[in-house]
Chains A and B, each alone.
Chain A
Amino acid sequence: MKIGRVHSWKKVLAQLLLLALPTVILFFYLLWNLNRFYTILENEWLKQGCYFMVGIVIATVFYAWRFRFITTVALLVLIYFGIYHYVGSITVGEFDAFYLSVQFIVFIFLFSAGWLAGFGFSRSKYFTIFWSVLLLTVQIVVVSKTSDIKVNALISAFAPVLAYSFYIIYTAELIRNMNEDETRFSCFIIKRITGFLLVMLVMFLVIFNFFKSDFKAIEKEWGNAQANYDKGNDKKENMNQTDAHGNMSNKDQTKLSGSLSKDKQLVFVAKLDNYFDDGKTPNPLYFTSCYYTKFDTLTQTFERDSLMPYNDLFEPDVSRIPLYFAKSDSVVIKNTFATKNRKVVIADVYKVILPPSKYMAPSTGFFCQPMSVPREYKEQYKSSYRAKMWVSELNSAYFVYNPAGNVQLEKFQELRFQKLREVKKIAGPDKKFMDYYTFMPRNAEYKKITELARKVTANSPLPIDKMIAIRDYFLSKDEYKQPLFKYSDNPGIPGLPSANKLTYFLFENRKGYCAYFAGATLFMLRSLGIPSRVVAGYLTVDRSSKNPGWYWFYANQAHAWVQVYFQDYGWIDFDTTVPDVNTQQATQPDGTPPSNMPQTYLVADGEVINVDTTKKQIQMSVEKLLYHDKDFLPSGKREILTDVSIATITADTGAVKLSSLKKGMHITAVSFAEILKNILPDKKDNLEAVVNRLPLPVPIDEVKVMSKEELQKRNKKKEEAVGEPIDWIKAGWVVLLVIAMLVVLLFLSPWFIWQFLNAKAGSVNSQKAYNSYRASLYYLNQLGYSRDNKGPQEYAYSIDLKFGSEFSQFSSLYQKVKYSSQPLSESDISTINEFYKPFIKLVRGKTKWTIRFSKFLNIYNTIHYFSHPKLNS
């Protein structure tokens, strides 16, 4: 049996190169993107892309012959089924079977997608439209699943697919209509596609130019996108590593400490100004990095969620705030909903290997002021900042970590419980908040957790008692007087890969590290309807009696615990992790703390106007002033006289002499002088008033000279900082506008083409007859009188019959011009020259404008005009 061909080899080649190849490239990109969000794909996007590629290539070539779709697909399904059974029969062990079957299903899915695409490109006329819509839908689903929706994510998700959609619909149509006998077909198609790409390019350029200012912000985000991808890589490594250990992955853990391993590297040092009521005993607090408010059941991962209601996480980029200038966010305080037993606490953090941009403070931080590290400690600490927090007096690391029988602490605890017992009922600010923080997955596994939680807290009516009951449950002993739960860094994995690790931890293994305890506690609390969340950060250990208030943080102190919401008291830390006997006993070496950071009262930023080396005074302009942690901006030019007799003057290169300061240099002057302490600014004060109140000359302790580069960098940062809050609603509008413009352009394209042809017809040249004829033909075609299969004369007669025109006369003359070698007579030439305009006018006059308008802008007519008839139609 000989099977006939549908497409020639030439056409198949064109399909492979121009349709399949871009599709495969796009798929590689999509799969790469998907792999970042779905662990089930195992990060094998290259392999998966190849599955798709093989599918599409085979199908494209295969369907170039006259094969039926249904029968061939049925056969394919049969083959799948056979292989699936075969694979099932040769694999040994549940795990292998599970792994292989998942992989095989992924393969089947991708291969079939490729197969379908190949068939569609080969045979179906409307497939590309359907395909584009499908891909866009997939992208929408993927984007909606991602945790952080940003403009760059939106653009990187949609721009390639949109561009691809335009391209594929256009090119598929081009190939479908291709004239296979055209000897210079490749030349033709290259010409067309180049034209198309140019049009796209011009369109995008115009749009980008038009919305330049809006896109600038987006462009900047693109720069940052790199960092996000890096983060993705981090996650990957982390995930792989933890998976190998059978741990629950804790995505940002890597970012916190470098790795999950029990590393003794120093991460940062902090001085925390938090003391018990006696004012002497330091009260350490856990340092919060971020909140995990979402749990992905599929991958068993706790995640951050940008959709968190009432975001109370203050996350400034510390490296972007100019030295000594502060950034604060009062919304954070508002979002804590805490009014009782709260106070403002100050912490000075000295970074060692903490990333420069990272901000870390006990909850709830709201203020950040980068400080300079004293020169003698520059080697030890990279940078430092001062943080202010809205801290609950009921929080203490002593409680959350290890009460350990200390009488004073137990007394404090009891006090704290008494306070919290005032909260009689579970309540939050609103329903949205409650729904969000008490959400838990519903299935049998979680039901078991609920039952356990109910059992454990059966005798505890108040929320705080429930919390204590849960903590006690983790600390309880079994019938052999052995601790029920043990701490372990390598708790092992359940036998079945898909099994729930939390229930495994709670009911079988009972070994785990902080994330297990925190996670289990979280779901026990949530199952009781108590709003709670997991916190990632560092636990604080007070080991030093020498330096009260100073704490050292090592990599192995990275920790996760729970925060519970109590009405009016806000989020309170609770730690249910049982003590790890091993690490508790090994004390860490504490270093000597850097000298206390003095309180800065005044920071002035400006240019040097005059330097008096004898009096050691500098006259400087003030461009920006920070006074008692309040920012002031001058309304006009303002100068102050400063006394720098005791000041250390530093530049990037090190200490410099006063005499080297020149007029016009940019300096930052800092004062720690005690006399400024009591000159407090009023709320209403502006910069003028503050400066007027200052004692002149103002005593200055530190002068920092800005180099030009630094100044530029700072200005740039400022610019960026201005553009930083990207209004992605606005960006969304821009995208919508762009799409709308494209649509309008598409709709108006018949008219543009008409204008083009019309203009050509008007010009006088040797091709005039041709141009006039084509323009008339186009005009008539747009009005619904297409020539189709009619011969020119036949068509002309039918038009004349309709409009009473003289089209046939012109048409026959045109044929004469085109196909005969006879010269035209004078009258013939004048007929040709004077035909076009009156004809169009006549036709226009005889068609109602509403019909004209609606038909004229019908793009199908235009496509019909330009499409070539098919041989097989």
Chain B
Amino acid sequence: MEEQNVQLEQTLGNIQKLVDNVETVIRGKRMQIQYVLTALLAKGHILMEDNPGTGKTVMAKTLAKSIAGIQGGEASFKRIQFTPDLLPMDLIGSHIFDDVKKEFVFKKGPLFCNLLLADEINRASPKVQSALLECMAEHQITMGETTYPLEKLFFTIATQNPVEMEGTYPLPAAQLDRFFIKIYFGYVDEDTELNIYKDYLGIQNNLDTIKQVLTMNEILFLQQQTEKVFIHDEIITGVRNIVRDTRKHPDIVLGASTRSGITFLKCLKAFALVNGRTFVTEDDLNQLTSAVLEHRMIFRNKEAKQKALAGILSKELDRLSRLKITTNANTYAQSPL
């Protein structure tokens, strides 16, 4: 236990280093980096949506380079550019006839990697999309009679482009549900942008010479530890309230599901760790609500999308902030990490 604690302290420190490390390349995007890591630690996947050229791909690359692989090398990173004519086989792999062995052998596709960047996921046909999303959920691939497990650490960063919507297949709500977090990348602020222009060569250099801060094992360890992050009963109640409020809100057509609630809790715990804490606070709730819940719901209109969830959240934050300090009766409570 003691040993583990020491290890946890170190890895928590390393997470901060990882964030700093990625930030040397992706500047002024600390929040987004934290979200990505949250999805990673919660054993989920992330969907990034924004205009081209905001640094989505670089982000994924940098992250992959920052994690040391098991055999010393970096974590395996694959990138698939989704197009309408892409087939499921192109992702999963296929059986190829081996002349020597006189039999069909399975040639693994790009899904068998640690870090997958699924670029412009909404351009592929629904068939491909669902194949990918199934793998993401099941962590395994079944071809014919054989089942091939994916890598222990399998993390997908999908991106989609909100402009140029012709010829795209928007992901249905049920499939969007598979992504733990959806973030908007957004443009950087003016000062940072000026810095980037002044130093654009440096960024490229940084990407090449990026340090490996965390090992894959450490990530796996953190993923394990995430489950043990302490979460107060009132925060759980808060999650329950928020989820239920989304179902009742007049401007929300489809509210959040119970599965969303569970995902939310997982993300909260991971987010606490990413922020170097071993307990969840109001801040986590504040910062994660829209990232975790918004893409799972259908709103009445655009205005509602901007306001409804914020209203629900502020109501809940208000409740929590007025709450007196209570000793926790949480049955899931573990001894302090």
Expressed in whole angstroms, the Cα–Cα distance for A794 and B281 within the complex equals 12
Task: Tell me which of A4, A766, A792, A870 contacts B281 (CB under 8 A).
Answer: A792
Instruction: Please report the C-alpha to C-alpha distance between residue A790 and residue B286 in the assembled complex, in whole angstroms.
Output: 8
Report the nearest A residue to B315, measured CB to CB.
A869
**Which A residues are in CB contact (< 8 Å) with B230?**
819-822
In the complex formed, the residue of A with least CB distance to B333 is A821
Q: Is the CB of A821 within 8 A of B328?
A: yes
B231: chain A residues within 8 A (beta carbon): 819
A818 in contact (CB, < 8 A): yes
Cβ of B310 and Cβ of A792 under 8 Å apart?
no
Q: Is B302 part of the contact surface with A, judged by Cβ < 8 Å?
A: no
Chain B minimum-CB-distance residue to A766: B325
Residues of A792-832 contacting chain B, CB below 8 A: 792-794, 812, 815-823
Nearest A residue to B251, CB-CB: A872
What B residues does A817 contact at CB under 8 A?
325
Q: What residues of chain B lie closer than 8 Å to A789, measured between beta carbons?
A: 310, 313-314, 317
A288: shortest Cβ distance to chain B, in Å?
A: 72
The residue that B321 contacts in the complex, of A179, A769, A792, A794, with Cβ under 8 A, is A792
The answer to whether B311 touches A871 (Cβ under 8 A) is yes
Instruction: Write the nearest CB–CB distance from B4 to chain A, whole angstroms.
Output: 15
Q: Which of B175-228 contact A (CB under 8 A)?
A: none
Is residue B134 within 8 Å, beta carbon to beta carbon, of the partner chain? no
A786 to B314, CA, bound (A): 13
Chain B: interface residue total (CB-CB under 8 A) = 41
Q: Are A767 and B241 in contact (CB under 8 A)?
A: no
Q: Which residues of B contact A777 (CB under 8 A)?
A: 321
Please tell me which one of the listed residues B322, B323, B324, B336 contacts residue A821 in the complex, with CB atoms under 8 A apart. B336
Within 43-66 of A, Cβ neighbours of B (below 8 Å) are at: none
- Is B305 an interface position by the 8 A CB rule? no
Of chain B, the residue at the smallest CB distance from A791 is: B286
Name A8's closest neighbour in chain B (CB-CB): B248
Q: Determine if A818 and B311 form an interchain contact, defined as CB atoms under 8 angstroms apart.
A: no
Q: Known contacts A181-B244, A820-B232, A821-B336: does B315 contact A868 (CB below 8 Å)?
A: yes
Q: Distance in Å from the Cβ of B289 to the closest Cβ of chain A?
A: 10
Give the residue name and chain of the B residue nearest to A867 (CB).
B318
The CA of A4 and the CA of B300, in the complex, are separated in Å by: 13
CA–CA, A818 to B310, complex, Å?
Answer: 23
Assess the A822–B311 pair: CB atoms within 8 A: no
Q: How many A-B residue pairs have CB under 8 A?
A: 92
Q: Mark A731-755, 1 if CB is under 8 A from B, else 0.
A: 0000000000000000000000000
Q: What's the dominant secondary structure at chain A's contact region?
A: loop
CB-CB under 8 A from A793, the residues of chain B are 281, 283
Q: How many residues of A are in contact with the other chain, CB < 8 A?
A: 33
Is B294 an interface position by the 8 A CB rule? no
Proximity string of chain A (758-799) to chain B, C-beta cutoff 8 Å, 1 when within and 0 when not: 000000001101100010010000000001111111100000
Is B245 located at the chain interface by the 8 A CB criterion? yes
Which of A816, A823, A871 has most B Cβ within 10 Å?
A871
Contact B315 A816 (CB under 8 A): no
Given contacts A821-B333, A869-B315, whether A770 and B324 have CB atoms under 8 Å apart is yes
Contact partner, A869, options B241, B311, B333, Cβ 8 Å:
B311
B74 to chain A, nearest CB (A): 33
Given the known A-B contacts A4-B250, A769-B325, A821-B336, are A873 and B311 also in contact in the complex, defined by CB atoms under 8 Å? yes
A788 CB contact (under 8 Å) in B277, B278, B314, B328? B314
Q: Give me 8 other A-B pairs in contact (C-beta within 8 A), A777-B321, A812-B281, A819-B281 excluded.
A: A181-B248, A789-B313, A820-B279, A821-B330, A823-B336, A868-B319, A871-B315, A873-B311
Q: List 21 A-B contacts (CB under 8 A).
A: A766-B325, A767-B324, A767-B325, A770-B324, A770-B325, A789-B310, A789-B317, A791-B283, A791-B287, A815-B282, A819-B234, A819-B280, A822-B230, A823-B336, A869-B315, A869-B318, A870-B315, A871-B311, A872-B250, A872-B251, A872-B311
* A interface residue numbers (CB < 8 A to B): 4, 179, 181, 766-767, 769-770, 774, 777, 787-794, 812, 815-823, 868-873
Show the binding face of B for A, using Cβ within 8 Å: 230-232, 234-235, 241, 244-245, 248-251, 277-283, 285-287, 307, 310-315, 317-319, 321-325, 328, 330, 333, 336
